[in-house]
Structure 1
């Protein structure tokens, strides 16, 4: 059986080089989510992407901590949160915006895997700047959710007798379970439950 040809380094600005870097970050995200920060080695990442160790360190010369931080920044902050910003800019309707926000957040692994990974990583990251990247991911997501709920509260669209922070907490809890909702549109289902409640839409007569 032929062995896969491992890619060597290219020029930093070349499309091939940029694609290799993107593949490294994507595969690293999968590995870190599955095994935790401590459970993944640079060698394992190189083998998963089928690049040489030299190529991996060419892209991330400072090692595993640098690779991990750039993965969080690129895959989750820059791409994930930027996608949320774009989704929210598409409409001003509160319910539609919340549905778009929910769909965007569901594209991120906002379940216990990511929470555990971030806690695990914070114990091992030594550079304060790297630790700040971890905190900024969670802060930016919560800021976007809070901002949307606050705007809806101020506009009188949602109940004014419930504090915004309580509603945000309820929403974030629902979000963690939303991928288990039946149907092909979990974001719409979550927002429907949030806005319309869990009672049957047509009340059946009592026996």
Structure 2
């Protein structure tokens, strides 16, 4: 890996938690300069503007989050158990510094930065399609009832988990996400034939 690539990667890794905690508008290039220990000109040597850095930071944060959420899913073959592992990962694993990058990007950029909104939309779609495919494969293996709509089931899981995260954050205490996890485990037991 070249020194330039290493520096770029280090900038992204340091900027991602800042953007995730402070949001696009709240995070300044000066914040990133201080965290990385480089001059502002060096940042602009790697990124043409703040928006490009924010997009790279979101991609980094979301990739880290997605990897954690999908951990150990390949260790089980049964569809229901695979989905339960996913739910457990979301509920129990520590979130990326500052919380779920997807939730943060959606709320921070609803009417703001179009590039970040586009990235959040893409991440959400990929997550939904990933879960949808698991449901479809489960139906092919007759581990999920044929009457279950894979898209609706995937959307339900995401909506319940992300919504519970938002409730935990707004309420200032935990419990909603754990409750959502218990409910989803019960729901997943009902979709088996």
Unaligned runs of at least 5 residues, structure 2: 169-173
Distance 1:141 1:112 in 2: 13
More deviation, 49-58/106-115: 106-115
| Structure possessing the higher radius of gyration over alpha carbons | 1
Higher normalized helix content (fraction of residues)? 2
Q: Is the 8 A contact 1:80 1:104 kept in 2?
A: no
Q: Which residue of 2 aligns with 1:151?
A: 137
1:41 and 2:28 equivalent?
Answer: yes
Q: Quote how far apart the aligned CAs of 1:173 are.
A: 2.1
SS in 2 for 1:159: coil
Residues 153 and 160, structure 1, Cα contact 8 Å, conserved in 2: yes
Count of residue pairs the alignment pairs up? 176
TM-score by length of 2: 0.68
Give 1:1-207 correspondences, 5 Å limit: 13-14=2-3, 18=6, 20-60=7-47, 62-77=48-63, 79-81=64-66, 87-105=72-90, 107=95, 109=100, 112-120=103-111, 122-123=113-114, 125=115, 133-176=119-162, 177=164, 180-181=174-175, 189=182, 191-196=184-189
TM-score (ref. length: structure 1): 0.64
What is the CA RMSD across the aligned residues, in angstroms? 3.6
Gaps of 5+ in 1: 1-11, 198-207
Asked if the contact 1:102/1:187 (under 8 Å) is kept, the reply is no
